[in-house]
């Protein structure tokens, strides 16, 4: 129950703040998440529900629709005539999933989710050659315990929001997508990747001494099966696009300049299915995983904090950061 409430906390807070200005939003959102008394006051004014595996919030907090919103880290183009939003990630240099980015991302997805006219979401990158470099290592290195907690809650929330979305979600993977970037695309309904052998996708965490959360393992297993998950996660494998296609980590490869156009065409096909039937089916497929994750959400948080704050983990992250920086120098 606590785990469920925590998820609702964040969803409510994000929805509540989504009509205000972005910078103020983010500061207020974080303050709200930290302040349990404000949060419980907020909660008492709300009714929450769980529908088809998706956590939703009271209509009282539904933000007004704004069509083409631009924030520093995300650009959302919503086409009302097609009902499709294209979300361009623009967090240079590599679209790392920092706390700031994740906060904006959750707000943006929540806004689209609440807008009944938005039926499909395409996720892509504005950065050249990179879809997303995964979690921002700077948010996992040398921080205070409460900062680790805040960051991890945002990571969990990003995954839950995307994985349980009622919208059709398509990842238009127009660059490399390691680790958290891969997780983000795995949460979508369909993955189209640029057929460029220089790009890679997968989970490289063990290579620099960290471990993916159990819910990532669960989600991956449902997509590529137990054996492929075992090999990928234990060895920290990154695949080129054609190998990723072979194991089912992505659904389709297309020339680089056709990724977005193919995603748009594919979306039309998915949206031709009656929404209610597709949604109920999606929920039927995903709800067991979501329920499982919700039931261990707080334990997962404690496990993350204890793992990430260990001296040995911090040392390995420091070495990895150095290595990333040296690569350029
Ligand atoms: C229970 C415990 C659970 C623990 C957590 C489990 C889940 C964790 C998941 C994660 O996502 S951890 C992050 C893993 N990501 C990576 O290993 C990717 C690292 N980056 C790259 O491989 C490359 O950057 C790239 C994405 C292939 C792009 O290559 P490119 O040559 O275009 O750029 P770079 O010169 O390498 O990088 C530019 C700049 O960006 C910095 N940077 C790169 N990735 C990250 C990152 N994930 N976080 C923070 N910063 C990153 C890199 O250091 C460069 O910085 P500067 O040198 O410009 O300062």
Q: Encode pLDDT of 249-268 as tens digits.
A: 999 999 999 999 999 999 99
Q: Which of 97, 101, 133, 296 for a ligand 1 pocket mutation test, highest count of atoms within 8 Å of Cβ?
A: 133
207 CA distance to ligand 1 centroid (A)?
A: 13
Q: Tokens representing 178?
A: 């390691």
Pick the catalytic residue: 17, 97, 135, 186? Answer: 135
53 Cα distance to chain centroid? 17
Based on its alpha-carbon atoms, the radius of gyration of the chain, rounded to whole angstroms, reads: 19
Of 40-49, 216-225, 290-299, the range with the lowest mean pLDDT is 40-49
Structure-block tokens of residue 142 = 């040398």
Q: pLDDT over 90 for what percent of the chain? A: 77
Q: What is the ipTM of this complex?
A: 0.97
Give helix then strand counts, H and E, for the chain.
12, 11
Give the angle 88-92-95 at the CA atoms, nearest 5°. Answer: 60
Name the closest-CA residue to atom 25, ligand 1: 133
DSSP string for 205-267? GGGGT----HHHHHHHHHHHHHHHHHHHHHHT-EE-HHHHHHHTSSSEEE-GGGHHHHHHHHH
Instruction: Report CA(134)–ligand 1 centroid distance (Å).
Output: 7
Residues with CB under 6 A from ligand 1: 93-94, 96, 129-130, 133-138, 176, 178-180, 204-205, 210-213, 303-304, 307-308, 324-325, 327-328
pTM for this model (two decimals): 0.85
Ligand 1 geometric centre to CA of 37 (Å): 36
Residue 93: asked if its preceding bond is cis (omega within 30°), the reply is: yes
Q: What percent of the chain has pLDDT over 70?
A: 78
Indicate whether 23 pLDDT > 80.
Answer: no
Strand 74-79, strand 84-89: pairing? antiparallel
Query: Which pLDDT tens digit goes with each residue over 60-114?
Result: 223 333 445 555 899 999 999 999 999 999 999 999 999 999 999 999 999 999 9
Which value, to the nearest 10 degrees, does the dihedral of the CA atoms of residues 268, 126, 17, 81 take? -30
Q: Which pLDDT band holds residue 328 (cuts at 50, 70, 90)? A: low
In angstroms, what is the span from residue 326 Cα to ligand 1's centroid? 12
All structural domains of the chain with their residue ranges: 74-319
pLDDT tens digits, residue range 129-167?
999 999 999 999 999 999 999 999 999 999 999 999 999
Q: How far is the CA of 320 from the centre of ligand 1 (A)?
A: 9
Q: What is the mean predicted confidence (pLDDT) over 165-177?
A: 98
Which one from 120, 180, 202, 236 is the annotated catalytic residue? 180
The torsion defined by the Cα of 168, 174, 178 and 179, in degrees rounded to 10, comes to -20
- CATH architecture label of 74-319: Alpha-Beta Complex (3.90)
Average pLDDT over the chain reads: 85
Report the nearest-CA residue for atom 46 of ligand 1.
Answer: 136
């Amino acid at each position: 129950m606590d785990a469920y409430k925590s998820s609702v906390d964040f969803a409510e807070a994000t929805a509540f703040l989504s009509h205000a200005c972005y910078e103020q939003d983010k500061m207020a959102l974080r303050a709200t998440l930290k302040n349990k008394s404000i949060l419980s006051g907020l909660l008492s004014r709300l009714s929450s529900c769980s529908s088809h595996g998706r956590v939703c919030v009271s209509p009282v907090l539904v933000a007004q629709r704004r069509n083409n919103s631009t924030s520093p880290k995300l650009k959302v183009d919503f086409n009302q005539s097609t009902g499709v939003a294209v979300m361009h990630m623009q967090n240079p240099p590599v679209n790392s999933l920092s706390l700031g980015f994740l906060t904006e991302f959750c707000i943006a997805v929540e806004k689209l989710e609440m807008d009944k006219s938005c039926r499909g979401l395409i996720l892509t990158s504005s950065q050249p050659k990179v879809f997303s470099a995964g979690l921002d290592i700077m948010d996992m290195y040398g921080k205070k315990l409460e900062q680790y907690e805040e960051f991890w809650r945002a990571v969990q929330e990003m995954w839950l929001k995307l994985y349980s979305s009622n919208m059709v979600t398509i990842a238009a993977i127009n660059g490399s997508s390691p680790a958290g970037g891969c997780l983000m695309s795995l949460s979508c309904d369909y993955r189209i990747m640029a057929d460029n052998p220089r790009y890679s996708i997968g989970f490289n965490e063990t290579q620099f001494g960290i471990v993916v959360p159990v819910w990532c393992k669960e989600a991956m297993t449902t997509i590529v099966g137990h054996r492929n998950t075992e090999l990928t996660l234990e060895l920290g494998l990154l695949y080129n696009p054609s190998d990723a296609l072979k194991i089912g980590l992505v659904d389709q490869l297309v020339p680089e300049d056709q990724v977005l156009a193919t995603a748009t065409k594919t979306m039309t096909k998915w949206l031709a299915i009656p929404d209610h039937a597709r949604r109920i089916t999606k929920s039927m497929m995903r709800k067991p995983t979501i329920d499982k994750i919700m039931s261990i959400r707080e334990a997962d948080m404690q496990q993350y904090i204890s793992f990430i704050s260990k001296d040995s983990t911090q040392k390995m992250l420091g070495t990895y950061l150095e290595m990333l920086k040296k690569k350029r120098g």
